[in-house]
Amino acid sequence: LRELQLVLCLAENSIGPSAFRNDDIITFLSGRTCEINNTDAEGRLVLADGVAHATMTEDKPDLVVDMATLTGAQMVATGKRFAAIVTNSAEAEARAVEAGIRSGDLVHPLPYAPEFFNEEFTSKVADSKNSVKDRMNAQTSCAGQFI
């Protein structure tokens, strides 16, 4: 028997006096700071805090699974019939692909390569920006890398 914990990371992209604006600087639960350069990339901000919350507990999880729509660019990469997976674990990737084949909920791996994608989020005023500089550089993999 294994324990399962669920953290819901919900965001609403709406206007109002307390909404994020471009050039705002926020501080995540982890202590890292982020320059907002795309107010439509709000979900990943909440997801980053959710993953930090899940991994900052006394009982460190063996596996964290972040299931999210994250970016519309995913459909460009994998189409409408495949979910995308971005992971730092070859074992988790293989298990997700195999489970997708067995269940009919198909999964296709995307590159996990921090050494190639970290510079996409470079900021002069914060630890990172919340969206990529170059939308033609594996945008979906970059979004997963941000988390």
pLDDT at position 73 is 82
- How far is Cα 28 from Cα 145, in angstroms, rounded to an integer? 16
| pTM greater than the 0.95 cutoff | no
Percent of the chain with pLDDT over 70: 100
pLDDT at position 5 is 87
pLDDT at position 115 is 92
**pLDDT of 73-113, one tens digit each?**
888 889 999 999 999 999 999 999 999 999 999 999 999 99
- How far is Cα 41 from Cα 37, in angstroms, rounded to an integer? 9
Mean pLDDT calculated for residue range 31-58: 92
**pLDDT of 114-124, one tens digit each?**
999 999 999 99
Cβ-count burial of 145 within 10 angstroms (0-12 exposed, 13-18 middle, 19+ buried)? buried
DSSP per residue, 72-91: THHHHHH-SS-EEE--S-HH
Going by pLDDT thresholds of 50, 70 and 90, the confidence category of residue 26 is very high
What's the mean pLDDT when you consider all of the chain? 90
pLDDT for residue 69 is more than 80:
no
- How far is Cα 129 from Cα 52, in angstroms, rounded to an integer? 17
